[in-house]
């Protein structure tokens, strides 16, 4: 559960920090397992060790904010014991996806989105928020791309461009 709480705190802090009104797209190298990602502004990276199933997982979140919308890529390399345990990797991936629903006050569906497939969550207490995301499990770690912002005026085209760049970076 520490992973979920830390992710929620990092995402909330990123939401509060930004206030740039325009996009200034740039390619940025993110982690060994992510590749080049096109961010809408200069990103910053925060890293910390989190606990999942009794293991320490190093989690990095690279994010940029435009107004109240956050564009972020999270990356967590598998610790040694998880490299040999496919069930544990699957469990962590499902936990991360389910947490994205819970962070917006929405119950996660019984059947979660498949890894690598785009999904959207709408919710939030007070003002409605939209989260668009994709989560991948790779040989070396978990990768998540997400865009979260107010439902009113959500930047559909910019969200698509960003998430497509995360997917492309993963394939190169």
Between the alpha carbon of residue 17 and those of residues 35, 38, 43, the distances in Å are 25, 20, 12
| pLDDT at site 101 | 95
Confidence label for 2 from pLDDT (cuts 50, 70 and 90): low
Q: Which residues of 84-109 are buried (b: 16+ CB within 10 A; e: fewer)?
A: eeeebbeebbbbbbebbbebbeeebe
- Domain span at residue 156 reads 2-171
Q: What is the pTM of this model?
A: 0.84
Q: Write the pLDDT tens digit of every residue in 16-50.
A: 444 445 799 999 998 776 788 999 999 999 999 99
Q: Write the pLDDT tens digit of every residue in 86-143.
A: 999 999 999 999 999 999 999 999 999 999 999 999 997 777 999 999 999 998 999 9
Q: Write the pLDDT tens digit of every residue in 44-79.
A: 999 999 999 999 999 999 999 999 999 999 999 999
Q: State whether the Cα torsion 90-133-170-62 is positive or negative.
A: negative
Structurally, how many domains does the chain consist of?
Answer: 1
| pLDDT at site 125 | 73
- Interatomic CA distance for residues 25 and 58, integer angstroms: 27
**Could you tell me how many residues make up the chain?**
172
The domain that holds 72 is classified in CATH as 3.40.1000
Provide CB contacts within 8 A for 38, sequence distance 6+: 25, 26, 27, 28, 161, 162, 165
Rama region for 116: left / alpha / beta (φ>0; ψ in -120 to 50; rest) = left
Confidence label for 1 from pLDDT (cuts 50, 70 and 90): low
């Amino acid at each position: 559960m520490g992973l979920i709480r830390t992710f929620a705190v990092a995402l909330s802090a990123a939401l509060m920090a930004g206030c740039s009104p325009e996009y200034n797209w740039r390619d940025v190298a993110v982690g060994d397992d992510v590749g080049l990602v096109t961010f809408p502004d200069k990103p910053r990276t925060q890293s910390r060790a989190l606990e999942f199933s009794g293991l320490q997982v190093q989690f990095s979140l690279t994010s940029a904010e435009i107004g109240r919308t956050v564009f972020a890529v999270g990356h967590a390399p598998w610790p040694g014991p998880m490299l040999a345990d496919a069930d544990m990797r699957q469990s962590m991936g499902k936990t991360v996806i389910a947490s994205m629903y819970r962070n917006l006050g929405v119950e996660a569906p019984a059947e979660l989105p498949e890894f690598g497939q785009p999904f959207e969550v709408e919710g939030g207490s007070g003002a409605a928020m939209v989260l668009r995301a994709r989560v991948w499990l790779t040989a070396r770690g978990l990768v998540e791309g997400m865009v979260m912002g107010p439902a009113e005026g959500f930047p559909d085209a910019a969200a698509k461009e960003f998430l497509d760049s995360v997917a492309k970076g993963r394939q190169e």
